[in-house]
Chains A and B, each alone.
Chain A
Amino acid sequence: MLELRGISKSYRGQTVLHPLNLRFSAGRTAALIGPSGCGKSTLLRVLIGLVAPDAGEVRIDDQPLTPANVRQMRHRMGYVIQEGGLFPHLSALDNVTLLARHLKQPPTQVRERVAELLALVRLPEDVLPRFPQQLSGGQRQRVSLMRALMLDPEVLLLDEPMGALDPMIRADLQTDLRVIFRQLGKTVVLVTHDLGEAAYLADEILLMREGQVVQRGNFQELLNAPAESFVTRFIQAQRQLLAGE
């Protein structure tokens, strides 16, 4: 279980996150959604310790995240960003296994895990020796997912993982991700700006605005019982976007 207690953050006098108390239940997928600048990415970066909050703490299974244990705790979290964040000087395999080798895991164990993950993300073996710039956008995101899952973490954090993909590839990856999330039963927090994607992938949606969670619930709840007019406006705007396309 992943928990934020009284987390707040401001940059140069600008409040990015108002004091927040949130719990993400084990094994469920939550989607953070909202307009640009609503604080959803910052929230994710607080969770993995890339951004230090001004107040409050992050807890994983009741263990607080501290500067002293942040590296160990990160091994319990996988992190995927837009465009993958793969290291361009390392092959796909090296990207995936870097951390495991850093932790001196036995080669056979590493090899078996890579084979498992290949099957999970549905990539052929021959992508492994390739460098990131030799892979397609979808393949890069799949490799990035393999890297995030290498140590079999309890938590998976994804920041706009499909933001840069074209629609067909995006749909493929969405389908696969849904299966993977269900199959693995991990605590997943997904940041997206696409309501359809959130509805499709997540068990619950957290709609954010100006550093606060406006409403939390599944898509039907947001649609049928909006907490305030902003929720309705947001949903309509997304629909118009779809209709316009």
Chain B
Amino acid sequence: MSIYSHRTMSENAIQTIYPNNCADGKGLIRCLCFVGVLLLVYFSECTFSTAQSAPLRVGSKRDTESVILGSLTAAWLKTRKIDAVYRGDISGGTQVLWRALLHGDIDVYPEFTGTLAREILRDEKLTTIAALRERLAPLGLTIGEPLGFEDNYGIGMRAERARELGLTRISDLRAHPTLRFGFSHDFLDRADGFPGLQKRYGLPQQSPLGFEHELAYRALAEGRVDAIEVYTTDAEIDVYGMRLLEDDLQFFPRYEPVLIYRADGLAGRAQGPTMPAAAREALRGLEGRITREEMMKMNRRARIDKVPESEVAATFLRGKLGVTAAAEQDSRWTEIAQRTKEHLLLVLISMLFAVVVSLPMGILAARLPRLGQTLLGVLGIFQTIPSLALLVFMIPLVGIGRTPAVLALFLYSLLPIVRGTTTGLLDIPAALRESAEALGLSRMTQLFRIELPLASRSILSGIKTAAVINVGTATIGALIGAGGYGQPILVGIRRDDIGTILQGAIPAAVLALLLQGVFELIERLVRRPE
């Protein structure tokens, strides 16, 4: 920032206004120190989280049932003296968790047999555990025995509405083409979801709405949709008095939860350490232990009574398996502090790299207008990629967690800064550029002492735009385990709990405003006296 700062009027004594070059040098050193500390924090966290004594990392998809199972698995392992940690921050849909497992970002997660067969391995004939294991082995993965209950897909309606229309089976839906469907995004996309169902039953209904699974129930209750997909262990089936339509053409496969992890002695493509024998033995202790009623009850406690999933899991372990697991629950303020730190790191690191890369790009674009146009065009295309899509593209390249999020935020920040730099430089009056040239200053001196300072306002406003957008976009990072304010927002959506959502949304808004304020302050300092 020091190259943009100017001496002020108050320094009036001639000695003090005589410039000394080291003033700029000191500013630069301070900047470099700041950058160094930032990078140190970033990388130290990266290495600590992956390398240090390596506890088993249990992941789960982000629906309530999966979170309970993931939390329960980690807590169970700990009672068996296995160092394990539930990585609630790595949450997402099927693809995110599957790739995280292949990539070595997590060690185990609960998955459903039906999903494995249809969505992941794409082979409907894989209906037995043995067949699945055989198919997973070449990938370096294996699964345990089912955990007990079945959680099949079903189509549910409000009981009274179904009664009105006389609907009991899914095939009955054919006669009512105007019924509105609301499905989870996952279900809408998957081969074993709506597309397959529609084909099997020849359903005429068009363009179903996409919801987070938990929100679909609310849409149903409010009468905004007529039918939604449910999991047969969902607590809401009872709570909302719903009718499950019979799957008369047997479209839905059996969905039994199993724990999937990397296996020993298999030369598969999965990266990362395999499951130690002691841990495998411990995981076996959960097989066949959870009934459908128990799972429904746990879902109900978490979803309806808003008890944190970790506590629900601990209660089950205590009641059913007779072991005491400590429910991990941070206080609200530690949580906010942690999320703030994560969010700030995401924003600052991505901004730092973006500034370092964008400034030279902007300078180049100003010097070579044709190249500049191409460059801005390409960066404009990046800007149009939806953030969620960009994040998911990154997973096969750099895994999950903070790195892909930083990378995505970095890409989004380039355009505003490059554009600010280019515009700022091109807007310098020709007379000033010529004066600098006629003075016989070197290109570098002209750039650093004249052109960049004159363009600084435009550059700063580009950085400000990027930073404010960045703060908002960074909340999406929680979907792929980057943490930050998106984490409470996701948890809040899952629990249908506005308080928890606000715990992420308010600090994110405050941070955006704060950043805006800081930049306005800097702009004021940079502004020349009139």
Among candidates B19, B438, B456, residue contacting A50 with C-beta atoms closer than 8 Å: B438
Q: With A87-B436, A89-B454, A129-B9 as given contacts, are A98 and B449 in contact (CB-CB < 8 Å)?
A: yes
B523 CB to closest chain A CB (Å) equals 13
**Is B445 in the interface zone, CB < 8 Å from A?**
yes
Whether A126 contacts B12 by the Cβ 8 Å rule is: yes
A111 contacts which chain B residues (CB < 8 A)?
A: 18
Flag whether A91 is at the interface (Cβ < 8 A): yes
CA gap between A75 and B21 in the complex, in Å = 21
Which partner residue on chain A sits nearest B526 by CB separation?
A89
A99 touches B12 (CB 8 A): no
A94 near B: Cβ within 8 Å?
yes
Chain B residues whose C-beta falls within 8 Å of the C-beta of A91 in the assembled complex: 6-7, 17
Does B166 lie at the interface of the complex (its beta carbon under 8 Å from any beta carbon of A)? no
In-complex Cβ contact of A131 among B19, B21, B529 (8 A): B529
**Across-interface contacts of B442 in A (CB, < 8 A):** 71, 102
Which of B14, B18, B454, B528 contacts A133, CB < 8 Å? B528
Q: Which of A9-17, A78-86, A173-181, A193-201 contacts B (4 or more CB under 8 A)?
A: A78-86
Q: What 1/0 mask marks residues of chain B from 514 to 530 whose CB sits below 8 Å from any chain A CB?
A: 00000000000000111
Residues of B within 8 A of A129 (CB): 7, 9, 11-12, 17
Residue A97 lies at the interface, judged by CB distance under 8 Å to chain B: yes
0/1 interface trace, chain B 421-435, chain A, CB 8 Å (1 if under): 000000000011011
Q: In this complex, what residue of B is CB-closest to A150?
A: B439
Check B454 against A88 for contact (C-beta < 8 Å): yes
Which residues in window 386-400 of B have CB below 8 A to A?
none
**Which A residues lie within 8 Å of B20 (CB)?**
107
Please give, as numbers and ranges, the residues of chain A lying within 8 Å of B434 by CB-CB distance.
Answer: 50, 81, 85
Q: Which residue of B lies closest to A84 (CB)?
A: B435
Q: Which residues of A contact B438 (CB under 8 A)?
A: 48, 50, 74, 79
B450 at the interface (CB under 8 A from A): yes
Interchain CA distance A134-B9 in the complex, whole Å: 10
Whether A128 contacts B454 by the Cβ 8 Å rule is no
**A131 vs B527: C-alpha distance in the bound complex, in angstroms?**
12
**Cβ-neighbour of B440 out of A99, A101, A128 (below 8 A):** A99
Q: Which of B9, B440, B445, B449: most chain A Cβ within 10 A?
A: B440
CA distance A111 to B438 in the complex (A): 23
Cβ distance B25 to chain A, nearest Cβ, rounded Å: 13
> With A and B bound together, what is the CA distance between A94 and B19 in angstroms?
7
Q: With a CB–CB cut-off of 8 A, which chain B residues contact A147?
A: 439
B441 part of interface (Cβ distance < 8 Å): yes
Residues of A within 8 Å of B6, CB to CB, are: 89-91, 131
User: Nearest 10 CB-CB pairs, A to B?
Assistant: A74-B440, A85-B435, A79-B438, A71-B440, A89-B453, A75-B440, A129-B17, A102-B445, A85-B431, A48-B438
Pull 25 A–B residue pairs with CB atoms less than 8 Å apart, ordered by A. A48-B438, A50-B434, A50-B437, A71-B442, A74-B439, A79-B435, A81-B431, A85-B432, A87-B435, A88-B432, A88-B528, A90-B449, A91-B6, A97-B19, A98-B441, A99-B441, A101-B19, A102-B445, A102-B449, A107-B18, A129-B7, A129-B17, A133-B528, A133-B529, A147-B439
Q: What 11 new A-B contacts, CB under 8 Å, besides A74-B439, A89-B6, A110-B18? A: A74-B440, A81-B431, A81-B435, A88-B432, A88-B528, A89-B453, A91-B7, A99-B439, A129-B9, A129-B12, A131-B529
